[in-house]
Amino acid sequence: MSKTKSVAADVDIVPKGTDEDWVYTQTIKEHFFSPQNLITDASKMKDYDGLGMVGSPACGDMMKVWIRVDKKADKIKEMKWQTFGCGSAISATSMLSVMVSEKGGMQIEDALKIKPQDITARLGGLPTRKIHCSVLGDKALLSAINNYFLKSKQKDRVIKESKRMIDKIAKVTDHDIEEAVLEGAHDLAAVQKKTKAGIGNPSVIPEIEQLIRFYTEKYFG
Amino acid sequence: MPNNIYLDYASTTPTDPEVVKAMQPYWNDVYGNPSSLYSMGQKSKKALIAARSAIADTFSCQPEEIIFTGGGTESINLAIKGLFQYQKEPRHMITSAIEHHAVIDSAESITRQGHAVSILPVDEDGLVNLKDLETAIKDNTLLVSIMLANNEVGTIQDIRAIGNFIEKLNKKRVAKDLPKIFFHTDACQAAGALDLDVQKLHVDMMTINGSKIYGPKGIGVLYKKRDVPLTALVSGGGQERNLRSGTENVPGIIGLAKALELAEKNKKKENARLSKMRDWLIEQILQIPKTRLNGHPTKRLANNINISILDIEGEATLLYLDEIGVQASTGSACTSESLEPSHVIRALGRPYEAAHGSIRFTLGKHTTQKDLKYLVSKLPDIVEHLRKASPVDVDMDTLDKSIKTFPREITEL
């Protein structure tokens, strides 16, 4: 589809039941309407060095990331991606691909340090409730880098997650739940608002609730 | 490029200029409080009485059975919480899985007072099964609340049959010394499209509001049959037969009455015009591969189109539509507070991925065939573009199978 001309007004979406003024910044809109490094035909992505994936259509967001690596310099040369998700999910992945490939590429070491907050900052901000759910790009990238480590026989460099995976579908760890509790989410609904844990995978809800109680008591008990 | 194609009439409607005109005198000329004795107050009161009578005529009820409130949500809250607050013993309510949040959240709130609530499932088109209702009824059931037409998917319930069933059952219950069951219907989406005669519908309470029928926002009606005992939720000066205190919103009430009058007058013609456009648009959108209609194919509001477009996410589609000047809505989680996709689409048995990809277009009196043609000329490209960017490829057979095998059980809140 040809690029549509942007209308002057900001897109204004106010989620039901909140007073949040939810305006997508111009940067987000630019990345949404003209995504960078997007791959529209995945079958053509053959000579990549690492492939990573996160999320599921059931949770409303899913990302697939391919990387090409300059092995000598240990730099990411290129990141291609596909995203199923809302406007901020698409924009955030696009922005991440720019961040790791601009200025001749990013050192793998630095790429592993990218946090959702860094992507959000480059986008000019996102409502907090959107950050945890739609900025999954860093997790997809980590998974692609690990895949590269494995494929290039650098097993010792694989980032072993010290965190424990709670919801495999939403890729939510115990650490994510701890962080959500610290940010003020003290029940399942509130934690789900921040992390989507258990939404597409209700069988893990009892475990999530147990962790919420544990962390709530630990920090606020 | 036409840049303002509003296809979200189920969300709210523009106020009809005739309604605005009817309200006009009541802002600055006849602004008296209807409770005041002097002539300007009495003028307001007279207008209020006339509006109440006109609405009562449309409903085939008595004027004193009309309660004006601050909107549909308030009417529903009053019908449910007001009825249960009056009770001293724990009682039981039955509602459906596809009700508006005003009903579901009010139902949830009465459980905190010790009352019980059963939620009826719906079939894959959104219809409540009378047999399920029969199963759910308990000796202490006090209220059944089922919406006349659904706001998201447009499915029209057979409220007459449900009302008839409850009426007959009540006769048997009286003989057995069991308490009467009251029947409320949320008719906010149905107003202007369906018959609102409460005698024919066999309902004891019914909710409508102004903002869905080209009337003002912030004004609603609760029809309440004389024998329904309610406790007021808003106390004060005792207006609306002590059930809704506060100085009457005279301009709003006049506007609502006018809007209802116009809606009734145009109903037949508008239904015919819109249903033709609806069927055309459904047919066109379903030509896009991997799409499924949500809601009943025929028992559906004349203005409602709700379709799941698989492999893409609804909010992203809406952003593209907004960019070409089309305003619609989605059941995707991204526009909800809870990050849970639409409970209505889910209750039909659609899996999460179908709910995330659902798009609702609701037509109204300014909608033209030209608007829809424009939409149809753009939508397939938007879908194709987003699908190319998406790593998801839902298997449609699996999807259809999961709809068939979706558990449809009565659940307890």
- Nearest by CB to residue A90, choosing from B316, B333, B382, is B316
Q: Which residues in B lie closer than 8 A to residue A7 (C-beta atoms)?
A: 3, 322-323, 325
pLDDT digits (tens, 9 = 90+) for A160-219: 766 778 888 888 888 888 888 888 888 898 898 888 888 888 888 878 887 888 778 767
Tokens of B61: 């009820």
Neighbour-count burial of B245, counting CB atoms closer than 10 A to its CB (0-12 exposed, 13-18 middle, 19+ buried): middle
- CB pair distance less than 8 Å for B313 and A60: yes
Per the model's pLDDT, the better-predicted residue between B210 and A57 turns out to be B210
Active site residue A86: no
Classify each residue of B67-93 as buried b or exposed e, where b means 16 or more C-beta atoms within 10 Å of its C-beta.
bbbbbbbbbbbbbbbbbbbebeeebbb
User: Taking the model in full, what pTM does it have?
Assistant: 0.87
Q: Which of B192, B227, B228 lies closest to B208 in space, CA to CA?
A: B192
Nearest CA in chain B to A40: B388
- Rounded to the nearest angstrom, the minimum Cα separation between B251 and chain A is 27
Phi, psi of B307 (to 5 degrees): -130, 135
Quote the mean pLDDT of chain A: 82
End-to-end CA distance of chain B: 49
Four-CA torsion B2, B4, B5, B11, nearest 10 degrees: 180
Residue A9's pLDDT band, with cuts at 50, 70 and 90, is very low
Residue B324 has a pLDDT of 93
Tokens of B352: 């999460």
- CB pair distance less than 8 Å for A87 and B316: yes
Q: Which of B397, B296, B404 lies closest to B350 in space, CA to CA?
A: B404
DSSP B234: S
pLDDT digits (tens, 9 = 90+) for A59-89: 778 899 999 999 999 999 999 999 999 888 9
Q: Which of B199, B258, B206 lies closest to B51 in space, CA to CA?
A: B258
Indicate if the pLDDT at residue A3 is higher than 60: no
Size of interface A-B (CB pairs under 8 A): 109
Q: Which residues contact A22 (CB under 8 A, 6 or more apart)?
A: A12, A13, A14, A15, A127, A130
Q: How far apart are CA B173 and CA B167, in angstroms?
A: 10
Residue A16 has a pLDDT of 44
Q: Positive or negative CA dihedral for A118, A123, A127, A132?
A: negative
Indicate if the pLDDT at residue A17 is higher than 60: no
Whether the Cβ atoms of residue B66 and residue B213 lie closer than 8 Å to each other: no
Kindly state the average pLDDT of the residues A20-42: 84
**CA-based angle B255:B224:B184, to the nearest 5?**
100
Q: How far apart are CA B263 and CA B258, in angstroms?
A: 8
Determine contact: A12 vs chain B, CB below 8 A: no
Determine contact: A31 vs chain B, CB below 8 A: no
Tokens of B185: 């219907």
Active site residue A59: yes
Catalytic residue positions of B, numbered: 334
Tokens of B128: 């409540």
Mean pLDDT, consecutive 10-residue stretches, chain B (413 aa), reads 84 97 97 95 97 98 98 98 96 97 96 97 98 98 98 98 98 95 98 98 98 98 97 96 97 98 97 98 98 98 98 93 94 67 93 93 97 97 95 93 93 93
Do the strands A50-56 and A61-70 form a parallel or antiparallel pair, or are they unpaired? antiparallel
Alpha helices by DSSP H, listed for B325-368, are 343-347, 352-356
Indicate if the pLDDT at residue A20 is higher than 70: no
- Nearest by CB to residue A57, choosing from B323, B353, B385, is B353
Q: Which residues in A lie closer than 8 A to residue B340 (C-beta atoms)?
A: 192, 199
Residue B116 has a pLDDT of 98
ipTM: 0.83
Q: Which of A86, A91, A208 to mutate to test the interface with B (most CBs of B within 10 A)?
A: A86
Q: Which residues in B lie closer than 8 A to residue A192 (C-beta atoms)?
A: 338-340
Classify each residue of B15-46 as buried b or exposed e, where b means 16 or more C-beta atoms within 10 Å of its C-beta.
bbeebbebbebbeeebebbbeeeeeebebbbe
Residue B298 has a pLDDT of 97
Helix, strand or coil for residue B145?
A: strand
Phi, psi of B360 (to 5 degrees): -115, 125
Per the model's pLDDT, the better-predicted residue between B356 and A18 turns out to be B356
